[in-house]
Amino acid sequence: MSLLEIRQLKKSFGDLQVIKNISLKVEQGEVIAIIGPSGSGKSTLLRCATMLESIDAGDILYLGESAFKADKDGMPHKVTGAELKKIRSYFGLVFQDFNLFPHFSVMKNVTDALIHTQNKSKEEAYDIGRRLLTKMGLSEKENAYPFQLSGGQQQRVSIARALALNPKVLFFDEPTSALDPELTSEVLKVIKSLAKEHMTMVIVTHEMNFAKEVANHVIFMDEGVIAEEGTPEEVFGNPKSDRTKAFIKGYQ
């Protein structure tokens, strides 16, 4: 059974169809990089997968459990109650703009959900938080506030926050797009270390060299469809479609 399966997904905003009948599977331990031009639907696909957007058709399943239920007219709606809480426990999401609470300390940002959604004691949550902040190279920053951190440090805090809930799959939406090159490298280093630990990840990125190095499966999206997919060697080294060739050439 796949950890995540997306079946015939469609999503429109008004008259603009952003996702056109996309299907994909994510297996345990897999690192999928999603690349493509701006406006191709990459971030919308992630937002649908993490239930931040409704969907118009199709299904999204985590460990075989549907995240959406069809109503009497066949329209899919997000599950509710205990089902929703369970589905959400399967994934974490790291945003491109960090989304940290500015009035929370680093430690409170990392542990607040542990305490209030997983009912961990403060002591247990802080133990988890300290372990993750050490892993992120931020052990001395637990009492700092987001405004006191660099962008790279803030992004590493957001990764620690996502990992704290022990998700089965971690989504990244352009995790370095808000960072300058020097800070980008420290965030990519953390993600590479997670890949070596066989963390299941789906990463929307414009960092082609990073995608080539960290992913074991690459998806190239264009105009709301998966235009090409395969191993990094296949997609970057021997792309089949002219559109993929042109896109990759533009980054070389």
Please write the tens of the pLDDT for every residue from 30-46: 999 999 999 999 999 99
Query: How far is residue 139's CA from residue 133's CA, in Å, rounded to a whole number?
Result: 5
**103-117, 170-184, 197-211: least confident range:** 170-184
User: Structure pTM?
Assistant: 0.94
Average pLDDT over residues 226-249: 94
Question: Is the pLDDT confidence value at 238 over 70?
Answer: yes
Q: How far apart are CA 91 and CA 46, in angstroms?
A: 11
Q: How confident is the model at residue 230 (pLDDT cuts 50, 70, 90)?
A: very high
Residues 54-108 have pLDDT tens digits of 999 999 999 999 999 888 888 899 999 999 999 999 999 999 888 999 999 999 9
Tokens 């533009």 label which residue? 250
Here the contacts of 135-141 (C-beta below 8 Å, separation 24 or greater) are 135/160, 136/160, 136/190, 137/186, 137/190, 138/106, 141/106
pLDDT tens per residue, range 101-124 = 999 999 999 999 999 989 999 999
Bridge partners of residue 10, in order along the sequence: 20, 57
Whether residue 178 is predicted with pLDDT greater than 90 in this model: the reply is no
List Cβ<8 Å contacts ≥24 apart for 79-83.
Answer: none
> Average pLDDT of 196-204?
96
DSSP 1: -
Residue with tokens 């993929």: 244
> What is the rounded average pLDDT for all residues in the chain?
94
User: Among residues 165, 209, 202, which one has the least CA distance to residue 188?
Assistant: 209
Task: State the pLDDT confidence band at 177, using cuts at 50, 70 and 90.
Answer: confident
C-alpha dist (Å) from residue 249 to 222, 234, 241: 15, 14, 12
Helix residue spans in the chain (DSSP H): 42-49, 81-88, 106-117, 122-135, 151-164, 181-196, 208-214, 232, 242-249
**190-215: average pLDDT:** 94
3-state secondary structure at position 229: strand
Cβ atoms 217, 136 nearer than 8 A: no
CA distances from 215 to 36, 168, 191, 205, 225 (A): 15, 17, 11, 11, 20
pLDDT of 250 strictly over 90: no
Under 8 Å between Cβ of 145 and 102? yes
77 three-class SS: strand
As beta bridge partners, residue 168 has none
pLDDT category, 252, cuts 50, 70, 90?
Answer: low
